[in-house]
Amino acid sequence: MERLARGGASATFPAVSTKAALKSAYVAPLEDVGAADIGFVGGKNASLGEMISVLAKAGVPVPQGFAITVPAYRAFLKANGLEERIQAALGDMKHARVPVAETGLNIRRMIEAGKWPDDVAAAVREACAALKARAGGRADVAVRSSATAEDLPDASFAGQQDSFLNVSGDDAVLDAARKCFASLFTDRAISYRDQKGFDHTKVALSAGVQLMVRAANGGSGVMFSIDTETGFDRVVLINAVWGLGENVVRGLVDPDEYVVYKPLLDEEQLVPIIEKRLGAKAIKMIYARTSDESRTRNVPTSKVEQSSFVLSDAEILKLARWAKAIEVHYGRAMDMEWARDGETGELWIVQARPETVQSQRRRGLFKTYSLKEKGRKVLTGLAVGDAIVSGMVRIVRSTSEIESFPEGAILVAENTDPDWVPIMKRASAIVTDHGGRTSHAAIVSREMGLPAVVGTRTATHVLHDDQEITVSCGEGSDGFVYDGIANFEVKDIDLGSVPETRTKVMLNMANPAAALQWWQLPADGIGLARMEFIINNVIKVHPMALVRFDSLQDQKVREQIAELTRGYDDKSEYFVELLARGIAKIAASQHPRPVVVRMSDFKTNEYANLLGGRQFEPHEENPMLGFRGASRYYSPRYRDGFALECRAIKRVREKMGFTNVIVMIPFCRTPQEADRVLETMAQHGLERHTNGLEVYVMCELPSNVVLAEQFARRFDGFSIGSNDLTQLVLGVDRDSEVLAEHFDERHEAVTRTIRTVIDAAHTVGTRIALCGQAPSDYPEFAEFLVEAGIDAISVSPDSFLSVKRTVAEAEAKYKKKRA
């Protein structure tokens, strides 16, 4: 991945008097070409020219340079008598079954041995001099391949041709351009064109020459204007590494990952960064000190670099705004490369091409995968795709093992590059040690429809040949590898037949990593977002252990928390930032539809299991009815911890811009307790109805039903928690196996209670919903809720469609009955 910079205007390129003359020129300034010139300068150069001529004026900085054109390529072939020889070699490959590797090698040798025609070489040298003058004497450039079949909306041709970094001098530019021409016939390029149905002889190559951005001591990366796994089109995904960005594409390094919500980018005061994942970034690519052919080398990163984000929040937002502008200009989802100059700190966009996988998927049709039984989890990485596959492991160290790779095996490797495509085509899934969502393994896996778990760090050490495993990419943005053959279910979902309903059907959500997976569902928002999942699985530390870190008595716990919060001078900020981003990601999946976030509702035994929790939690014989929910929020035991929750919600709504977030208070026993909680929230900056904040209350206690009108005056809505309400109405421990047969939400005592509170809520004009498992498990219970007049039902995503249809049928039934 090349990193380039724009020069000044102190010199100009050789004049081209007319457009017709330009089309026959051997070199062309990039600012003089555009999207319509793919046949003249190839896909990459046409895209760069389009951005320079149009988007630079809109504030998107794009490097200047020039193209060695397709006419120059054709002149080179003709002058060396190569056209017929190349056609003959390709004919032998097809008819005489000459191997691709032998054919490609022979053609590349022919081209690399060719001589430049004098007039072409002179034009290139003149253009190099002009570019050097414009750059104030700088001579380091990148020479990039740009094929006429490349960066197309339905075929990326990712990594098929070669590019060369840190090239200096006219002779070196001409040599690099000749190697670019030869790379049109790499084994991988020949195979890819065969796969995509392109005629080899009709594909030509241009070479782009641009000044290097000095990213070797800066940073670089890749970004997409769409979520690469779910197709969620309202985010920008950015990967970042130290140094040159080739390591990102090759999957040699685990990059930082940032996700930004696009619709809120126009509001300058907001910071809608909904995810920041710190990558290991163990190595970085820099310029080589020697004049060898590689011109670059990898070196280890420092501990500071490994523990630091490459980009600041301001830089993340700037790149995201550029990505949005580029997407708007092209009218489609885009795949872009960026670089930051280490000397000036300036950011640059160095490439943009159409995204070719998610944007091609037909909306409204998708499969869902759910695990039923699985073995021990052995690896975790980033999920690519959304499928689940079981199979046999085959660890591959090099492309020399292509012939021995069994069809349908699971490919396990340190990383992949374009030469690995023949192996990848034979695999059923892919697992790598290194790489991010924009690595070669990820890009090709998506294009081939293969599930992949990348960046596991230890796959080639933990797994062994012939081991049976299950690769799961159906559980959100994290991918998992389980030991053994798992039992899983696959469902085809067609959203085109989802009926409209008066009763709102919303989603229950806990895991931010899975939130974007369900964005296409026509839900009415999220009726229950559980904060506990984020605290337990992402934060992992008791909030009071962060507030009172200096008083922790367990030294081992102190060390574990210190490691988790590395980089945070304020330990509390660790909790607030991670909780805020988790909530924001859930909120983004439904924005601007409402998202009801329940404040923490751990029981004391559950809180005690968090890091540092045992020091702050009392022992209770019956935690289910103990110190939980609202009673904690104003208590001296937890008040400071609740303050962190409030800070996170305030940040999500006011700094990040997700005003669709509604707060919900669980297990609120009395109206007087409600007053204390609302007062405490106001003290922490969350005052009901200020900045449009709505506050709901869980209806899960008999007191909530008996005193419904008093609660309704204090809150904006009710959400019936059917599990706890059933437990307390029937006096049945919901977790007791002995009493399981008595726990039934359909019991008359429970349904009468629910009907009573629905009527009471409507009497005073308060919204009321139900968020429980019962409507998913029992269609007749969903029908009862519709008949009773519930305003909304919130269910798990995998049961949304069935519940939606049940609700529609029930509404039609009761409408007919009333008529």
From the list 506, 591, 595, 548, the residue with the least C-alpha distance to 800 is: 506
User: What tokens appear for 613 in the block?
Assistant: 């929790």
Q: Please report, for residues 37, 256, 380, 667, 683, the alpha-carbon distance to residue 221 in angstroms, rounded to integers and kept in the order given.
A: 26, 9, 23, 47, 43
Mark whether 771 is an active-site residue. Answer: yes
CB 609 within 8 A of CB 673: no
Distance CA 465, CA 486 (A): 18
Residue of 440, 646, 668, 699 marked catalytic: 440
Distance CA 253, CA 315 (A): 21
User: What tokens appear for 100 in the block?
Assistant: 């691709």
Q: What DSSP letter does each residue of 600-661 carry, written as one string?
A: P---HHHHHTSBTGGGT----S-GGGSS-THHHHTSTTTHHHHHHHHHHHHIIIIIS--TTE
Distance CA 319, CA 60 (A): 9
From the list 615, 614, 601, the residue with the least C-alpha distance to 533 is: 601
* Amino acid identity at 768: I
In the three-class reduction of DSSP (H, G, I as helix; E, B as strand; rest coil), residue 76 is classed as helix
* Angle between the N-to-C axes of helices 748-763 and 779-788, in degrees from 0 to 180, rounded to the nearest 10: 30
Identify the bridge partners of residue 5 per DSSP, sorted by sequence position. 211
- φ, ψ of residue 5 to 5 degrees: the values are -140, 155
304 Cβ partners below 8 Å, 6+ apart? none
Distance CA 649, CA 635 (A): 20
Q: CA angle at residue 590 from 587 to 594, to 5 degrees?
A: 75
User: What tokens appear for 1 in the block?
Assistant: 């991945």
Whether residue 592 has a cis bond before it, omega within 30° of 0: yes
Residue of 180, 473, 668, 771 marked catalytic: 771
Strand 4-5 relative to strand 65-68: parallel, antiparallel, unpaired?
unpaired
Reduced 3-state DSSP string for 24-55: CCCEEEHHHCCHHHHHHHHHHHHHHHHHHHHH
* Distance linking the first and last C-alpha atoms of the chain: 68
Distance CA 722, CA 772 (A): 5
Mark whether 464 is an active-site residue. Answer: no
Handedness of CA 438, 444, 448, 454 (dihedral sign): negative
CB 451 within 8 A of CB 464: no
CB atoms within 10 A of CB 815: 10
- φ, ψ of residue 309 to 5 degrees: the values are -75, 140
* Catalytic residue positions, numbered: 440, 771
